Structure 1
Amino acid sequence: MTAPRAKTTALARQILEIARRDGLAAGTHLPEVKLAERLGVSRSPVRAALALLKDRGAVKLAPGQGYSLALDSDGPAFAAIALPEPEEAVIYRDLVRARFANLIPPQVAVSDVMRRYDCDRATANRVLAQMSEDGVIERAPGRGYLFGPVLNDARAYEESYRFRILVEPAAVLEPGFRPDPKRMKQLRARHEDLLRAGIETVPMAALFEADAAFHEAIGDFCGNRFLAHAIRLQTRLRRLSEYENYNDRERLSASCHEHLAILDAFEAGDFRRAAELLRRHIAVSQEIRPNFDKVRALAHRRLTRV
């Protein structure tokens, strides 16, 4: 089977996110026209994305009725839907991990990407453009791009957490901070499901995605686009950093409970308490530092394994 285009996969992910944020139930009709308007595209790419989601069991197609959601968006089966990664996403992640493992220098050019991944110039340009937009790299004064901090050493780790301690509690205290009840309900259900399933047995990727969804929601709730962007960037850097695969599961269990306490404060409208709980939550996580030498060695071994 031919791999789906990057745009198709990206739109499929966006449709899943719409379903998740809107709290859609199984059986909800998914009109192509409305989705196209909401996503700012024509109907054809939306139809391709829905077809991909049908192949993955996320939606179903009834003759003469169109597509509808096959699963409740707040259930574990929906959260477990896996979409194929486009080539650009695989290259993007591998580049960051290669940098983390010191397998590539801090400066990279289009030709380096083409040679390393045997891809065409258009693909390499798309990867580097996305990395630049995400703030992972920036234009070098001369040729190519320079990597920014990728949380690949103790100093970057400390700077990231200190930045988060400054930014995330401040987002909660923004005048426009308005938690979305539907999204909070989804976050609560997701965390409770993880705790019920047992942190020790849940895949690490699912744990991190739940953590990322919680922190990104804070940015979205605050009503400040600059703070929201900063929080999303930090989450993206954490997701791309190899050491996230080696977190302490006992700490992750405590982290889930802390997230639930913060949600309680949101629901009570006590944003000052929520901000203080969030500050403590990030500060405690900051103290659990990875062994960067060990994790970098593991990353290096994985990336160079033949």
Structure 2
Amino acid sequence: MSDATKRLPGRVVTEATAAIAALVAEGTLKPGDRLLAQRLADRLGISRFPIGQAMRILAERGLLTADPGRGFSVATDGPCHAASFRAERGGGDLASAYFRIAEDRLSGALPEHISEQAMRDRYGLGRGQLAQLLNRMAGEGWAERRPGYGWRFSAVLTTPAALEQSYRLRLAIEPASLLEPGYRLDGNLLRQCREVELRMLDGEIETASADTLYERGVRFHEAIVGASGNPFFLDTLKRVNRIRRLLVYRSLADRSRYRQQAAEHLELLATLERGAQAEAAALLRAHLQGVMEKLSAVRPLLEAKSHPEG
């Protein structure tokens, strides 16, 4: 009998519901994506039956849409519902474990190779919880399953100098993407980006989780670059965003600079809406340079701290 079937049915459904909601909230599952029960079961280490129950619960909460004859897909406003759903269900506990693991990895306290049992013992996690976290880390590019046994933590940006190098790469590609022939930012996407920035200025900068703040920036810049129609620009930016994630989380302890960044994002959107691509490219370059300059102010937060193993 598997570990999943030994657990109380209600607990398994709760784990499955939380895990799927997390995948939606983090953008792994995007609006319009169709959910396959077997694929989710394999990914989360949970049987198909509780996955089906979990999807029905999430459809009732607005995260998913039931498609007659086709199962379930992520609702258009699923990510917004997912964020509130996770808060209600205590998603902060799993987020806390994620950041503990991330901090231990950055500080060198977590070894490069480790078994799942050691991870569960170290962080007090259930099998389903750990599977959810490891799948997230694998999607972000800093953990991968070892053939036959355990997990390996991949190389990530672990120094302020490396983070600054990532910004120099972004300076090279992001403004250039706005000058691509046929650049077009969809009007609906532009409005969605604007609404997010306005909510940030209306108070979410102070109240949003580190996850939300980071994803807001990632989605904004990937939307801007993606409108170039050139997949090479977007693929490069996505890879950079995955590997710089952990160091950026440390910098979120100081949120004072995000109000200016949100205002600059809004100015950039207004310029793109006018079709002034060259002007927008110059604004984007200045925006990224400004962020780079401000990294020096938070450099102490980015410096890796030494912790004893244990």
Q: Which amino acid aligns with 2:270?
A: D
2:189 aligns with one of 159, 183, 187: 183
- Could you tell me how far apart the structure 1 residues matched to 2:30 and 2:138 are? 24
1:4 aligns with one of 11, 15, 19: 15
Q: Which amino acid aligns with 1:41?
A: L
Q: What's the CA shift for 1:153?
A: 1.6
CA contact (8 A) 1:161 1:286 kept: yes
Q: What's the CA shift for 1:300?
A: 5.8
2:141 aligned partner: 135
In structure 2, the CA distance between the partners of 1:145 and 1:17, relative to structure 1 (3 Å rule), is closer
SS at match of 2:252: helix
1:228 aligned partner: 234
Q: 1:231-284, CA deviations, whole angstroms, 9 ceiling, x for partnerless residues?
A: 2233334443341322341x2111111101111121111222111111110110
In structure 2, the CA distance between the partners of 1:271 and 1:198, relative to structure 1 (3 Å rule), is same
Q: 1:28-51, CA deviations, whole angstroms, 9 ceiling, x for partnerless residues?
A: xxxxxxx6xx42636985773352
CA contact (8 A) 2:271 2:277 kept: yes
In structure 2, the CA distance between the partners of 1:179 and 1:161, relative to structure 1 (3 Å rule), is same
Q: What's the CA shift for 1:157?
A: 1.6
- Could you tell me how far apart the structure 1 residues matched to 2:28 and 2:159 are? 36
In structure 2, the CA distance between the partners of 1:67 and 1:127, relative to structure 1 (3 Å rule), is closer
- Could you tell me how far apart the structure 2 residues matched to 1:42 and 1:50 are? 12
Q: What's the CA shift for 1:96?
A: 2.9
- Could you tell me how far apart the structure 1 residues matched to 2:255 and 2:182 are? 35
In structure 2, the CA distance between the partners of 1:90 and 1:49, relative to structure 1 (3 Å rule), is farther
In structure 2, the CA distance between the partners of 1:288 and 1:7, relative to structure 1 (3 Å rule), is same
1:275 aligns with 2:281: yes
1:41 aligns with one of 33, 36, 40: 36
1:217 aligned partner: 223
TM-score of the aligned structures, taking structure 2 as reference length = 0.66
1:147 aligns with 2:154: yes
* Residues paired across the two proteins, number: 270
- Could you tell me how far apart the structure 2 residues matched to 1:49 and 1:12 are? 12
1:245 aligns with 2:252: yes
2:294 aligned partner: 288
In structure 2, the CA distance between the partners of 1:99 and 1:42, relative to structure 1 (3 Å rule), is closer
Q: Which moved more, 1:218-227 or 1:119-128?
A: 119-128
SS at match of 2:156: coil
Q: 1:203-241, CA deviations, whole angstroms, 9 ceiling, x for partnerless residues?
A: 353443322221121233222333222222333344433
Q: Which runs of 5+ in 2 are unaligned?
A: 1-9, 39-47
- Could you tell me how far apart the structure 2 residues matched to 1:299 and 1:54 are? 46
- Could you tell me how far apart the structure 1 residues matched to 2:82 and 2:138 are? 29
1:31 aligned partner: none
CA contact (8 A) 1:180 1:221 kept: yes
In structure 2, the CA distance between the partners of 1:139 and 1:179, relative to structure 1 (3 Å rule), is same
In structure 2, the CA distance between the partners of 1:12 and 1:159, relative to structure 1 (3 Å rule), is closer
Q: Which runs of 5+ in 1 are unaligned?
A: 19-34
- Could you tell me how far apart the structure 2 residues matched to 1:8 and 1:58 are? 10
SS at match of 1:174: coil
CA contact (8 A) 1:74 1:190 kept: no
Q: What's the CA shift for 1:161?
A: 1.0
- Could you tell me how far apart the structure 1 residues matched to 2:194 and 2:131 are? 39
1:103 aligns with 2:115: no
Q: Which amino acid aligns with 2:84?
A: I
Q: Which amino acid aligns with 1:148?
A: A
5 Å-filtered alignment, 1:110-129, equals 110-111=114-115, 113-118=116-121
In structure 2, the CA distance between the partners of 1:123 and 1:210, relative to structure 1 (3 Å rule), is closer
